[in-house]
């Protein structure tokens, strides 16, 4: 019985430590900065819509923990994430573009401030992009699976990112 109580206490302490570590939240926009939080504003000048994927990288790591991923395109919108103050390294990718090299940036997050990160897409060339559409189920006189393959030429991109200096917190609407 004592061993079970100690085990529950360890699980509680572990859960508390994970919560206190300062995980990122999804896109946030409070009216005032929250205590113990700093914010990173990712933005790109792209009117066609981008599906963002942001990963937090540990030192000497290529693939990190995904802190934001969205399959709905955003058009010229600021993506704001909250973090505990500190220095972070991020990888930035777009899920609806042919990216040959994701962008990486080191960002200093300060308590109660916003650090803007400008993200640009640099076209690197052309590639043949293959789109597969699979259909399962029965159709007239057939059963099973059909696959349609389309190929078209599309642009490939390299992502570049540059962190700016932290500034006083303001809601996103005040920045436009």
CATH of the domain at 170: 2.60.40.10
In a domain, 149, yes or no: no
Helix (H) / strand (E) containing 54: strand 52-57
Residue 145 lies in a domain: no
Find the mean pLDDT for residues 61-70: 86
Output the CA–CA distances (angstroms, integers) from residue 67 to 22, 60, 82, 96, 136, in the order listed: 12, 18, 10, 18, 33
The token duo for 18 is 């994970």
47 within domain boundaries:
yes
Q: How many domains does the chain have?
A: 1
Domain that residue 33 falls in? 24-121+158-175
Rounded to whole angstroms, the Cα distance separating 92 from 104 reads 6
Report how far apart, in Å, the C-alpha atoms of 56 and of each of 26, 59, 81, 143 are.
13, 10, 11, 45
Residue 2 falls inside a structural domain: no
Q: Identify the pLDDT of residue 5.
A: 52
The residue among 101 and 8 whose pLDDT is bigger is 101
Tell me, yes or no, if the pTM score tops 0.75.
no
Tokens of 50: 């981008």
């Amino acid at each position: 019985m004592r061993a079970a109580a100690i085990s529950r206490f360890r699980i509680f302490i572990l859960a508390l430590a994970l919560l206190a570590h300062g995980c990122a939240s999804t896109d946030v926009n409070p009216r005032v900065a929250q205590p113990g939080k700093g914010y990173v504003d990712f933005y790109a000048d792209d009117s066609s819509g981008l599906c963002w994927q942001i990963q937090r990288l540990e030192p000497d790591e290529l693939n990190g923990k995904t802190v934001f991923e969205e399959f709905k395109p955003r058009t010229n919108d600021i993506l704001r994430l909250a973090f505990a103050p500190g220095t972070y390294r991020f990888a930035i990718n777009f899920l609806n573009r042919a990216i040959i090299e994701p962008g990486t940036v080191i960002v200093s997050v300060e308590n109660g401030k916003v650090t803007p990160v400008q993200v640009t897409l640099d076209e690197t060339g052309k590639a043949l992009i293959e789109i597969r559409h699979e259909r399962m189920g029965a159709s007239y006189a057939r059963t099973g699976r059909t696959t349609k393959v389309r190929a078209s030429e599309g642009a490939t991109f390299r992502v570049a990112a540059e962190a700016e200096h932290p500034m006083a917190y303001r809601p996103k609407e005040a920045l436009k």
